[in-house]
Structure 1
Amino acid sequence: MTAAAALRALHHGPGLPLVLPGPWDAASAKVFADAGFPALATPSAGVAASLGYEDGRTPPDEMFAAIARIVRAVDIPVSADVEAGYGLSAKELVGRLAEAGAVGCNLEDTDHATGALRDAQEQAEWLARVRAEAGGDLVINARIDTYLRGVADPAEAVRRGRMYAAAGADCVYPITAPPEQLAYLAGAIGLPVNAVVLPDGPGPRALGDLGAARVTFGPGLQHRAMAALAGIAQGLREELGTQEQGAQEQRG
């Protein structure tokens, strides 16, 4: 079984979702792998933050280099968030992913030049070209940005999802879809559905019960790690401040 086939096989379905932590660098990837997770999914925003960029502003070369470092650090399948493909041709994109060692990818239907939703037919044709180039060696998670862009009607998410399924996507990712719609979307589209864990939303187990076959975290885990680090830094500053105050009092 290839690594891509192994990743594809982990999508068991609702009730037993594939939970994919989102590493932002090699060290965090190793932590998640050592904890026993069977696969990982890089978040573009988390990687961007680790490299000092805003989300969506990471140069492609740096993003693929970061993905390669994460892949080298672990011996489990890695899926990579490559946003809208960075303007690469399907052949170039598949080649860059293969060079980095990623066996899956997120591809979103937002046009980064305009910030608007891309035409669904154009996105489906793009996904079909990626599938043709990759064959079965890439697990394609087609992100549907309708809810993110203010289109709340699930019918549009279903329309796009069915087109992406016909183009060869393995799963769909209607990001920020209401959790209570997950089961409907999965049934209507006919593919496993990826849901994201949000700070005030259901956790992975609950999302699985609601219909998600795959659960990711976006940059959420990186944010939590940075919050913990900020607490450590503040504690150090307070300790140093107490020491400095004591030294000043001794000098009198």
Structure 2
Amino acid sequence: MDRTQQNLLAQKFAAMHNPKDLPMLCNAFDGGSARALASHPRAKAIASASYSIAISCGSADNDLTLEENLAGVKGIIAAGVNAQPHPKPVTIDLQDGYGSHLERAIEEIIKLGAVGCNIEDFNRETNALWSVEEAAQRVARAKQTAARCGGGAEVGLDAAIKRGKAYLAAGATTVFVWGGGRVVQSAEIKTLVKEFGGLLNVSMQLREGFLNKQEIQALGVARVSMGPGLYTKALNAFSSEADAIL
């Protein structure tokens, strides 16, 4: 895929982030799962999940290195680039952006063919959140790098809104608000949708008793991802079959 085609794909992916064209991102965990998604007519885009990549290479999510992540997503990106009849956008979970290696991380996934990424505002080196200003600067740096290439602590809702608005102002396409180990509630989602002008990304829980696609879409979010949900289901099925055999 040449750079012009990649730029057009990036523009297409960015335009998907709205309630009317709600992108449901099933997170792939390797090249095979990504190819399955790439061949699905209703899969508009493909995403990776760092947790799944880490487990696949025998690491913990917080210990996943940039090199390991890049190696893990290579096949995922290739599946999107080579999708038929047209390439599909691939967005990569870059965790916290890997500290001072942020620009390199962005450059490397663009070289592989990705057109999007998500970056946490949590600094793994200090085990604390970046300040709002620092995190917003990192979003801006990521955007600048993409353009140049051609392509811990509990936070309350008010603080999350302040941070999210700063990141959107810095050029982020959407904002994902982590629930700090709990599921973000419907009322909170409604507030975040209102404050972010709909530019909110939520993670859908693939379990009974949680919001489904239609219910989430009705809240007005701009993007839905599964995180490691599909990977976990696949592992559970694998374990169940192995248990039956053994």
- Number of matched pairs: 226
Mapped pair 1:171 → 2:153: no
Contact 2:99 / 2:125 at 8 angstroms: preserved in 1?
A: no
Deviation at 1:163, TM superposition (A): 0.6
Mapped pair 1:212 → 2:224: no
From the superposition, tell whether residues 90 and 227 of structure 1 become closer, same or farther in structure 2 (CA, over 3 Å).
closer
From the superposition, tell whether residues 22 and 230 of structure 1 become closer, same or farther in structure 2 (CA, over 3 Å).
same
Match of 1:108 in 2: 120
Mapped pair 1:17 → 2:22: yes
Structure-1-length-normalised TM-score: 0.83
Match of 2:199 in 1: 192
Question: Partner of 1:135: helix, strand, or coil?
Answer: helix
Distance 2:102 2:69 in 1: 17
From the superposition, tell whether residues 31 and 149 of structure 1 become closer, same or farther in structure 2 (CA, over 3 Å).
farther
Contact 1:175 / 1:196 at 8 angstroms: preserved in 2?
A: no
Contact 1:120 / 1:160 at 8 angstroms: preserved in 2?
A: yes
User: Rg larger in 1 or in 2?
Assistant: 1
Distance 2:100 2:31 in 1: 25
Q: Deviations over 1:61-96 (max 9, x none)?
A: 121122121111232111000001112444322211
Q: Percent identity over the alignment?
A: 29
Contact 1:90 / 1:133 at 8 angstroms: preserved in 2?
A: no
Q: List alignment gaps of at least 5 residues for structure 2.
A: 1-6
Q: Deviations over 1:149-176 (max 9, x none)?
A: 432x321111001111111111111123
Q: Deviations over 1:95-152 (max 9, x none)?
A: 11212211100100011123222111110011111112212965xxxxxxxxx8432x
Runs of at least 4 residues of structure 1 off by over 4 A? none
Q: Which amino acid aligns with 2:204?
A: V
Contact 1:173 / 1:195 at 8 angstroms: preserved in 2?
A: yes
Residues 231-250 of structure 1 aligned to structure 2 (within 5 Å) = 231-237=240-246
Of the three residues 237, 242, 245, the one matched with 1:228 is 237
CA RMSD of aligned residues (A): 1.9
Question: Partner of 1:41: helix, strand, or coil?
Answer: strand
Of the three residues 115, 129, 135, the one matched with 1:117 is 129
Of the three residues 148, 158, 161, the one matched with 1:158 is 161
Q: List alignment gaps of at least 5 residues for structure 1.
A: 139-147, 238-252
